[in-house]
Amino acid sequence: MHHETLLMVFARNPVLGSTKTRLASSVGDKKALEIYKFLLQYTAYIAAEAQCDRRVHYSSYPDYEDMFPNESFAKTVQTSGELGTKMYLAFEQAFKEGYKRVAMIGSDCYELSTHLIDTALDSLQSNNFVLGPAKDGGYYLLGMNHLEQAIFRNKKWSTSRVYLDTVIDLEVLNYSYAELPILSDIDYVDDLPIELRNKFGV
């Protein structure tokens, strides 16, 4: 542990036919896998520059030969259970290890930057939580300076109400929170910016 802050990246192991399935319905499994590997590479690039410790939480197994450099990223596997349980247990472990400020991102937000990650972690010095709202109603970043189980409960994950329901929880519980700019996750072909559509020919 080199810092008081930790960035956790939730990532799927890139497997043909089981990665970015909503995108694959439009572009095919092979193209969807290519795009997801590119997004993983991009996420590794911006996360590696962030001023914090870093850990990748893989869906199936820790990959020590992928695009996340082993010297920059600790690697582990997500626990079993629904997404809320997986996230809660990841945050719980981080705080047990002594981290003071912890944030989590996914691996499919091409608009995210190192600057925004650093901004999010810095905001936790004066706010209990930080949220990065996604255009689809979820969030691309969640950060906190202490554990609160309520925000992981009673959520319909991967729906358009996740962000709003999380904000409601924070306000009911009277927590302070910072909000980042609204960004787009890449789940469907329409979410791809022009440069990526051109790059991958979709």
Its sign, for the CA torsion 192, 193, 199, 202, is positive
Q: Has residue 198 been placed in a domain? A: no
Q: Whole-angstrom Cα distance, residue 89 to residue 96?
A: 10
User: Residues 80-84: contacts with CB within 8 Å, 24+ apart?
Assistant: 82/157, 83/157, 83/158, 84/152, 84/153, 84/155, 84/157
Q: Has residue 199 been placed in a domain? A: no
Q: Has residue 201 been placed in a domain? A: no
Q: In this predicted model, what pLDDT tens digit does every residue of 129-178 receive, in sequence order?
A: 999 999 999 999 999 999 999 999 989 888 889 999 999 999 999 999 99
Contact criterion met (CB below 8 Å) for 51 and 4: no
Percent of the chain topping pLDDT 70: 99
Q: Containing domain of residue 177, as a range?
A: 5-190
- What's the confidence (pLDDT) of residue 159? 85
- What's the confidence (pLDDT) of residue 99? 97
Q: Has residue 37 been placed in a domain? A: yes
Q: Has residue 100 been placed in a domain? A: yes
Is pLDDT of 3 > 90? no
Q: Has residue 202 been placed in a domain? A: no
**Count of the separate structural domains present in the chain:** 1
Q: How many Cβ atoms from other residues are within 10 Å of residue 90's Cβ?
A: 19
Q: Has residue 196 been placed in a domain? A: no
Q: In this predicted model, what pLDDT tens digit does every residue of 26-57 receive, in sequence order?
A: 999 999 999 999 999 999 999 999 999 999 99
CATH number at residue 11: 3.90.550.10
Q: Has residue 141 been placed in a domain? A: yes
